[in-house]
Structure 1
Amino acid sequence: MISAWPLTGRGDELRIVRTVIAGDSSCAGIVIAGAPGVGKTRLAREALEQARTRRCRTYWTAGTESSRSVPLGAFTDVVTDFGADPLMRVHDVLTGLVGGPDRPHLVVGVDDAHLLDDMSAFVVHRLVLHGLATVVLTIRAGERWPDALVRCCKNGPLRRLDLRPLSRDDTRTLVETVLEAPMEASSAERLWACTQGNVLYLRHLLEDEMQAVG
């Protein structure tokens, strides 16, 4: 298995996300949308890690098929009273995330935000609407969004970034970086033709070939 998988060919996209996090735009957050395996999670995690090194507080969670049936399923580690009134639980989560007024800026990352339950999506909506945090969301293209997130985008505070597959050149650069060796042009073209620049497909294909070789 390849443990180190660098972020390659995403310099422009990373700068966009960093600009939003730094507050140098009119947006309260950003939605990274794209096909499965295109690298949305990797980009979002890198942006949050860089924010953490700049002394921001960061919080990472994810929507899942199993948790979307659980109210506040994406924030269960923050909820302290599951028996409370729903609005009180939302307030509880917001308080747990945001804390006091003198704490460093909060950046909340939510992977697969299209799978959030309604109450978790409402928490994100509150964070955005009241400027309590900058949010970085990943959403699979073509999926239905929770209504609360739709309202965030309609009102304008969330920017959308559509993440495309890697180009031929970026695909080759990524593989050469991982393998720490140059590739023949024909091999690079074959990998790109098989994966069309999808990073997840590329990783699986490369790992399978490396295991087959020995």
Structure 2
Amino acid sequence: MAAKSRDAAMLNVHGEWPLVGRDTELEDVRDALLDSTCSGVIVTGQSGVGKTALAQRIARDLDDSFELVYVRGSALASKMPYGALSFVLSDLDDAIVDNPLMLLRGLQELYQRREDGRKTLILADNLEELDSSSAMALAHLVRVGAVKLIAICQSIDASPEEFGDLWKDGALRRIDIGPLGLASTTKLLSAALDAPVSRAAAASMWHTTGGNPLFLQALTREQVDTGEMQERDGVWVAKPLSAPKTRRSMTDWIMVRVRRLPAGEREAIEMISVVGVIPLELLLRFVPSS
């Protein structure tokens, strides 16, 4: 491959990847947000499947219809009342903030009275780490119709119960995001590399990553950087007899993802990584069933 062509591919693969294989989910989320009888969606799926990317795409597409407010739960903010909404509370008087009932009313009025007439769309990411006060406030705003909501989590069961109740009551529609299939994985690789990818190379990457887009991105960058994937006659192929390999940076990337897991999930993964296979009944003696 010519140096110029390779440089262009390197720049592309290390940039922002396209959203591929999510047309149905995008349409479902968009329909829910534009439906006057629905208050929004709760998007679930394992880490790395593209939940946030999908929500951000929707928010950009509906930019003219909604005013976007982004909220994210975090381990640090979860220890403080209204930690996830601290930036919003700065728009309210101190007297209102100190009174829970007045605070809810103040937030409701803040979002119901947009000067431009647009409705507020709140994108709440990482629900599992959302503090209870913020969860209560968001649920209230949804129930009174002050906002539309895109809520993102890996598991509804691990999220504040207010969101599970909103889903069960029909206020929020549930959208489950799964791994990509082989066809979508191939299409995503071809789009990211700006050239067709051989079926053998795509299948190898798909089997290795399990169709997880975030893992696929990281591994593809490794393969291109190390030369394990090369462009030949306009098609990306894997080196002969070569399975995807990773360098230390890939290990570091995986460890970062593992460290972000809740303690119980991390302990379960560590145990299984040591013993290989463990009966579920035995595993449940050491880690919570959730």
The alignment's TM-score, normalised by the length of structure 1, stands at 0.91
For 2:212 and 2:23, how far apart are their aligned partners in 1?
17
Indicate the residue corresponding to 2:85 in structure 1: 75
Indicate the residue corresponding to 1:198 in structure 2: 212
Q: 1:147 aligns with which of 161, 171, 180?
A: 161
Indicate the residue corresponding to 1:130 in structure 2: 144
1:108 aligned onto 2:116: no
| Structure 2 residue identity aligned to 1:36 | S
- Give me the identity figure in percent: 28
For 2:73 and 2:113, how far apart are their aligned partners in 1?
23
SS of residue in 2 equivalent to 1:76 = helix
| Structure 1 residue identity aligned to 2:29 | V
Q: Is the 8 A contact 1:94 1:123 kept in 2?
A: no
For 2:39 and 2:156, how far apart are their aligned partners in 1?
23
For 1:188 and 1:146, how far apart are their aligned partners in 2?
39
| Structure 1 residue identity aligned to 2:202 | A
- State the shift of 1:100 in Å: 4.3
- Unmatched 5+ residue regions in structure 1? none
SS of residue in 1 equivalent to 2:201 = helix
Alignment of 1:26-175 (within 5 A): 26-52=37-63, 54-80=64-90, 81=94, 84-100=98-114, 103-141=117-155, 143-175=157-189
SS of residue in 2 equivalent to 1:136 = strand
For 2:89 and 2:188, how far apart are their aligned partners in 1?
40
- State the shift of 1:35 in Å: 0.6
Deviations 1:32-62 (A, max 9, x none): 100111110111111111111x332111111
SS of residue in 2 equivalent to 1:43 = helix
How many pairs are equivalent? 212
- Unmatched 5+ residue regions in structure 2? 1-12, 229-290
Please tell me whether Structure 1 or Structure 2 has the larger radius of gyration of its CA atoms.
2
Deviations 1:165-196 (A, max 9, x none): 01100001001001001111110010000011
Q: Is the 8 A contact 2:104 2:140 kept in 1?
A: no
1:18 aligned onto 2:43: no
- State the shift of 1:149 in Å: 1.5
Q: For the aligned residues, what is the CA RMSD?
A: 2.0
| Structure 2 residue identity aligned to 1:35 | Q
Deviates most, 35-44 or 106-115: 106-115
Q: Is the 8 A contact 1:79 1:92 kept in 2?
A: no
Deviates most, 12-21 or 147-156: 147-156
CA distance 1:100–1:186, shift in 2 (3 Å): closer
CA distance 1:32–1:142, shift in 2 (3 Å): closer
- State the shift of 1:143 in Å: 4.9
